[in-house]
Structure 1
Amino acid sequence: MQAKGRVIILMMDSFGIGGAEDAASFGDEGANTFLHIAENYKNLKVPNLKKLGLLEAAKASCGKAAPTDEAAAPDFDLPSKYGYMEEVSKGKDTSSGHWEMAGVPVTFNWGYFKPEYPSFPADLIEDICKEAGIKGILGNKAASGTVIINELGEEHIKTGLPICYTSADSVFQIAAHEKYFGLDNLYRLCETAFKHLKPYNIARVIARPFEGEKAGEFKRTKNRHDYSVKPPAKTVLDYMKDEGGQVISVGKISDIFAAQGITRAVKASGLKELWDVTLDEVKSAPKGSIVFTNFVDFDMTWGHRRDIKGYAEGLEYFDSRLKELAALLQEDDIVFITADHGCDPSYKGSDHTREHVPVIMFGKNVKPGFIGARESFSDIAATIADYFKLKPFDKAKSFL
């Protein structure tokens, strides 16, 4: 490994910039997260992202310019490369998007549960309940997490039965009250469920702890934990770790990769805290390190809940903090801004949307220019491998 500088990856969970070529096969024809936010939220202020090339990348992706505030001025001036990426993985889920950008596309089909009640096979639930020593479950359907805890939270407190639900993703989610059910009990139950779900090829079991005393007051806590299957091959994170480099994950990155290739995992939740922690880690990260942050609110809080205003305000806040990161960059550092899929808040339903995602790379010594359409998210992994002189990825192309 050549430890010339640091790599910082800012992963804007769900920030699509135009429908993918195969969007129609996913039922997502016409989805465009960024464009529709910009059209529905007047005078969107993202001057730093604009300066870095986001608007040009988005226009190249979909053929239409996103309207933003023309008067807003950027806070810094660093050279950047910019374009958009197409996903080759078969799914539009979190795991597939992250693994692909780390060099390992998902070429197999995940397992999924049916959306209507009962979503889960009876023998699966029986096996989980028997081993966990519980009498049954609540929920057993596809649902929004915030909706279902308000629907069933009081019954959960009264009966002690966990709330189990799924979504359009390959997931089995378990919500339980931190005080009345207990966080450790919830984690143990998720571990039990994860074991029994292996034959179903489900990507993740997600622990969704919450607090509050009655419907309308329940809210999820920051102690979410994802139990993920491991990537099917080594990612660029593994290669970095194997060569003695540091891989620092912020937020849910470590969970998504089942801790593979991670040297330090830092918990954080909420857009502000995720930014605060990311900046703290950049301040102390040595040369030869990757700082990788998932900004989950764009997806979990605004995309899935179809909250255009919240998403737009989140974009403006994200943009406003970029100047702080720019001020911390050392001579050879590079920053990537990208996403793992779309989640158009103006679109029907509440699922992810199959879209192109932005790829922006900036830093003091980045050679600027438009890098066009990348054929796979894995081009990010190839670029990082090229930068650190790690093992290359045969089916991906560096744009260093």
Structure 2
Amino acid sequence: MPRVILCILDSFGIGAAPDAADYGDAGSDTLGHIAANYQISLPNLDALGLGAAARLATGNVPRGLTDQPKGGRYGVGREVSKGKDTPSGHWEIAGVPVPFEWGYFPLTEPTFPPDLIAQLIERSGIPGILGDRHASGTTIIAELGEESIRTGKPICYTSADSVFQIAAHETHFGLERLYKLCETAFELTAPLRIGRVIARPFVGENANDFKRTGNRRDFAIAPPEPTLLDRAKAAGRQVYALGKISDIYAGHGVTHKIKATGNMALFDRTLEAMEMAADGAFIMVNFVDFDQDYGHRRDVPGYAKALEAFDNRVPELIAALRPDDLVVFTSDHGNDPTWRGTDHTREQTPILAFSPALSPGTIGIRPTFADIGESIAHWLGLPPGPHGKSFL
């Protein structure tokens, strides 16, 4: 019985979506702009059709890539869900487009409703909060981390995404205390349709050495209907959720949860999951570094080098496939490191599918990310869902 490995390169967009102007992102192109500013080499993803997919998306082949795929199916994904958030992209990839508008916090300072913060302080017993604005996580921790340690006040901030983030020191504030605080914040923000509350623990003693740790935890609204993960689990299949996948789906449909910090560690865990996974298993992994370490920080060389490091390991994954296994590489949104601001960009995404049992060719431009989930369901022998159409 075949297995499927779904690798989501978080934020790896390949050109502005048709509705990008509605989000202020017309002209964004994560891959294209990285390639224009860095002599990138991605021979393995290119052989699977990355350059050809970029040409479908934008009409151009990025510098350093080709339009000569050597195997597998390649194409472009376009999102129908509103917004450019992590849950929207992931849920739609798993066959469930988001049917509602997320709630967002305004670009004011302070940004959070006063009554929300008052309830958070009262219910959690904290002495107050710091931040209360839109910010980059690493920047605001460097700015306010010392004061947070000194006063015991956590740092609360948001972004253009539907998110409420809380940063606090792992030991001075306490990791479990931070998680409890985020649970309270999640209860308070749920009526506002805020997609996620994220715990952002950090260590270090001053602005020069503060560092976020791998103990991040996302408290997320559950998908509005069963996703591919739920359908696979209900059919008795193993569902391996690696990285932040389980958090994004609020734990729904997951049979095996595996955490790791860093893209290379996540790649190692993916290979280990492939060794353990039974026939008919579904393995889903999010490679978050592209987004949180390089996209949001507008680090072009860092993003490029991370892509090259990932590309170098693709042959290991291909070699580990069984004859009827399928691997799919895609993304959930863009995060152009050359773009203004520090937020996600509304982009098209690559879809690269490979199996020793799959004939090569193009799948064209897919009108919804849900086509990915339905293609995986088809490969796994699961009944089709209500959204999307298989390209296999």
Task: Please indicate the TM-score interval, normalised by the length of the shorter structure.
Answer: over 0.9
**What is the count of residue pairs matched by the alignment?**
391
Is the 1:250–1:274 contact (alpha carbons within 8 Å) kept by the matching residues of 2? Answer: yes
AA matched with 1:63? G
Distance, in Å, in 2 between the alignment partners of 1:23 and 1:86 is 11
Partner of 1:111: 103
Q: Structure 2 matches for 1:193-342, cutoff 5 A?
A: 193-342=185-334
Distance, in Å, in 2 between the alignment partners of 1:148 and 1:395 is 40
Is the 2:53–2:75 contact (alpha carbons within 8 Å) kept by the matching residues of 1? Answer: yes
- Select the residue among 148, 152, 170 that pairs with 1:156: 148
Distance, in Å, in 2 between the alignment partners of 1:347 and 1:181 is 35
Is the 1:115–1:166 contact (alpha carbons within 8 Å) kept by the matching residues of 2? Answer: no
- For the pair 1:8 / 2:9, whether they are aligned, the reply is no
1:115-157, Cα deviation, whole Å (9 max, x unpaired): 3311111111111111111121011001100001110010011
The alpha-carbon deviation at position 69 of structure 1 amounts to: 6.4
Partner of 2:130: 138
Secondary structure (helix, strand or coil) at the match of 1:360 reads: strand
Secondary structure (helix, strand or coil) at the match of 1:197 reads: helix
Distance, in Å, in 1 between the alignment partners of 2:371 and 2:82 is 17
Secondary structure (helix, strand or coil) at the match of 2:126 reads: coil
Secondary structure (helix, strand or coil) at the match of 1:149 reads: helix
Is the 1:91–1:106 contact (alpha carbons within 8 Å) kept by the matching residues of 2? Answer: no
* TM-score, normalising length: structure 1: 0.96
Partner of 1:47: 43
Partner of 2:34: 37
- Select the residue among 8, 15, 18 that pairs with 1:18: 15
Is the 2:155–2:168 contact (alpha carbons within 8 Å) kept by the matching residues of 1? Answer: yes
Is the 2:46–2:65 contact (alpha carbons within 8 Å) kept by the matching residues of 1? Answer: no
Partner of 1:100: 92
Gaps of 5+ in 2: none
Gaps of 5+ in 1: none
Distance, in Å, in 2 between the alignment partners of 1:226 and 1:344 is 23
The alpha-carbon deviation at position 284 of structure 1 amounts to: 1.3
Distance, in Å, in 2 between the alignment partners of 1:382 and 1:198 is 29
Is the 1:247–1:263 contact (alpha carbons within 8 Å) kept by the matching residues of 2? Answer: yes
1:296-349, Cα deviation, whole Å (9 max, x unpaired): 011111111111100100110010001111111101000000000001111111
* TM-score, normalising length: structure 2: 0.98
The alpha-carbon deviation at position 276 of structure 1 amounts to: 1.0
Distance, in Å, in 2 between the alignment partners of 1:236 and 1:249 is 12
Secondary structure (helix, strand or coil) at the match of 2:222 reads: coil
Is the 2:127–2:152 contact (alpha carbons within 8 Å) kept by the matching residues of 1? Answer: no
Structure 1's consecutive aligned runs of 4 or more residues displaced over 3 angstroms after TM superposition are none
The alpha-carbon deviation at position 271 of structure 1 amounts to: 1.3
Partner of 1:58: 54
Is the 1:341–1:353 contact (alpha carbons within 8 Å) kept by the matching residues of 2? Answer: yes
Q: Greater CA deviation, 246-255 or 114-123?
A: 114-123
Is the 1:249–1:262 contact (alpha carbons within 8 Å) kept by the matching residues of 2? Answer: yes
